[in-house]
Amino acid sequence: MTLLSSPQGTPERVWSLVAGLSALGGASARATYDALLNPGFGRDGVEVKAKATLAADAHNAALSLALVEGARDQINLVATLPDSFAGFADLVHDRLIGLASGDGDAVILEGYAWVVVESDRQNGMQWIYQAGREEFAELANSGLTGKEMNSTKAVAWRRWLAFLGLGVPMPTERSAPDFPSPAMRILRELERAEIVAGSTLPAAEFIALVARRMPYLDRGRLFTQACQRIGHAAPANRLSPLLSAALRDLHDDQSLRLVPSGDAADRVRLSEDASHAIDAFTTVVVFPGSAS
């Protein structure tokens, strides 16, 4: 079982499940646990249960993330849970980046790394919206180890990416793929790295930090792996369109300040965007608006 083979095991359902189990002391009889998953409701004096697949997929997703374990009669929580949904996203993110290639759930971030690399190969992100669901799944499999992606799994995959802060739902078209922006996760990882507000980092040091904490982005381990899988040589001195767009967004909302002045030898170039003034930077000021 994997997260993508349990498509109704949404992040919200899994969080509700494990938070409920935690409230019960971290262990529960199977019957009580099953009631957490599918408590039912009354209608005209008759108890009605939700679809069994909703509960089963939430349980299987929790198992796949190694959050719970159980036998026939009892289920135990085996992870220390954070106290918020945002913290739960951090926990899941950390587990996913720690997976070995070949693990069933590694496809989530390996697939995202492929999107980053493919955006670099095609010099933009328009292709994401030009491909139909089946075609997109086939394209994604070119950057994976086999046939891990299909049109059904792609929906669950995008849902988990959005939960992790790696995608933004399109507001105008519900059926359109999410915009694959890592901006929110970049912010979260900078906060978790405890970078002091107002700190200035050299461009190369900043990109290396992002690549360590988010290895599916430029120069990271999964990014490099995706390049090898599709035979793409990423430019050494220019960032991908996907990461470039995210950094420009963070610059515009003043979460970061990309500073273009300085020695040209130290500059990191962004992918071209004629509508934006920043096309390269030598240093980055982190959380400039929060500095005391």
**Quick one: pLDDT at residue 72?**
79
2 has pLDDT over 70: yes
Beta carbons of 155 and 161 less than 8 angstroms apart = no
Q: Which domain holds residue 29?
A: 3-77
Q: How confident is the model at residue 242 (pLDDT cuts 50, 70, 90)?
A: very high
Token pair in block for residue 61: 């997703």
Total count of domains within the chain: 1
Buried b (16+ CB within 10 A) or exposed e, 159-189: bbbbbbbbbbeeeeeeeebbbbbbbbbbbbb
Tell me if 22 is assigned to some domain. Answer: yes
Residue 142 CB partners (closer than 8 Å, separation 6+): 114, 229, 230
Tokens 């992100």 correspond to what residue?
A: 125
Beta carbons of 124 and 115 less than 8 angstroms apart = no
> Mean pLDDT across the stretch 181-187?
98
Alpha-carbon distances of 143 from 32, 155, 236, 262, 279, rounded to whole Å: 42, 18, 20, 37, 28
**Quick one: pLDDT at residue 38?**
74
**Quick one: pLDDT at residue 52?**
67
C-alpha angle 35-40-46 in degrees, rounded to nearest 5: 130
CA distance 285 to 165: 21
42 or 239: which leads in pLDDT = 239
256 or 44: which leads in pLDDT = 256
Tell me if 70 is assigned to some domain. Answer: yes
**Quick one: pLDDT at residue 117?**
97
256 has pLDDT over 60: yes
> Mean pLDDT across the stretch 76-100?
97
Tell me if 42 is assigned to some domain. Answer: yes
CA distance 173 to 169: 9
pLDDT in tens, 197-240: 999 999 999 999 999 999 999 999 999 999 999 999 999 889 99
Tell me if 183 is assigned to some domain. Answer: no
List the beta bridge partners of residue 202.
283
Tell me if 291 is assigned to some domain. Answer: no
| Average pLDDT of every residue of the chain | 90
Tell me if 184 is assigned to some domain. Answer: no
Q: How confident is the model at residue 45 (pLDDT cuts 50, 70, 90)?
A: low
Tell me if 110 is assigned to some domain. Answer: no
52 or 156: which leads in pLDDT = 156
CA distance 248 to 28: 48
187 or 30: which leads in pLDDT = 187
Tell me if 67 is assigned to some domain. Answer: yes
What DSSP element (H or E) covers 41?
Answer: strand 41-43
Alpha-carbon distances of 214 from 90, 219, 235, 254, 264, rounded to whole Å: 12, 10, 19, 21, 26
**Quick one: pLDDT at residue 49?**
58
